[in-house]
Amino acid sequence: MAGMTDSAFRRLVKRHGGCGLVVTEMVSSEGLVRGIDRTLEYAEYTEEERPISIQIFGGDPEKMAEAAHIVEDLGADIVDVNMGCPVPKIAKHNAGCSLMREPQHAAAVIGAMARAVAIPVTVKMRAGWDERERNAPALAKMVEDAGAAAVALPRSPCTAVPRRRATAALPTGTSLLVSPTTSRFRCSAVAIASNRRRWSRE
């Protein structure tokens, strides 16, 4: 989470115990490729935090692949792609949750990254762009086929459209999508948020 999961926070969580993987704040692929000092600071970590995943965002396949390579060179164990951020300054640049509106392009981004690095490429997405565009199951299959090793799926949509009312309604127990007994998905792991509280947001 931007502004929260910095290195100090991640180390506190690891020391508390029970955390198998920590993830950085989301890092701009553009900033990584350009070598911007402030961006590189977001990707800093300590050995105490391992295994560590560096999460990046962007919408250009070539730049995302180059950024993934930089993440690998930094020694990260995993490179994660943010396809869930609804913040306008991110989404309006064909990054974050807006990638869910262009599944073929999103898959192309993941494919380019997977070909560029040896470390796992993972994806964090939402249930969809909004209540009417809930395409996570189809997109998860597409990014898996493109090379994603794991998909993390909060059950809420992006709710990125301003001043709209949204209610999280992904049914509890989505075993059809993620059960190890089904051959529909072959990725190594799938994480789904389990908060059952329904919420609404204006």
Catalytic positions are 85
The Cα 20–Cα 9 span in angstroms is: 15
The Cα 32–Cα 6 span in angstroms is: 17
The Cα 159–Cα 53 span in angstroms is: 26
The Cα 178–Cα 54 span in angstroms is: 24
For strands 166-167 and 200-201, give the pairing: antiparallel
* Tokens found for residue 169: 């309604």
Phi, psi of 70 (to 5 degrees): -65, -45
The Cα 116–Cα 166 span in angstroms is: 37
Q: Using the 8-state DSSP alphabet, how is residue 66 labeled?
A: H
Q: Where are the alpha helices (DSSP H) in 45-102?
A: 61-73, 88-91
Q: Using the 8-state DSSP alphabet, how is residue 80 labeled?
A: E
Widest CA span of the chain, in angstroms? 46
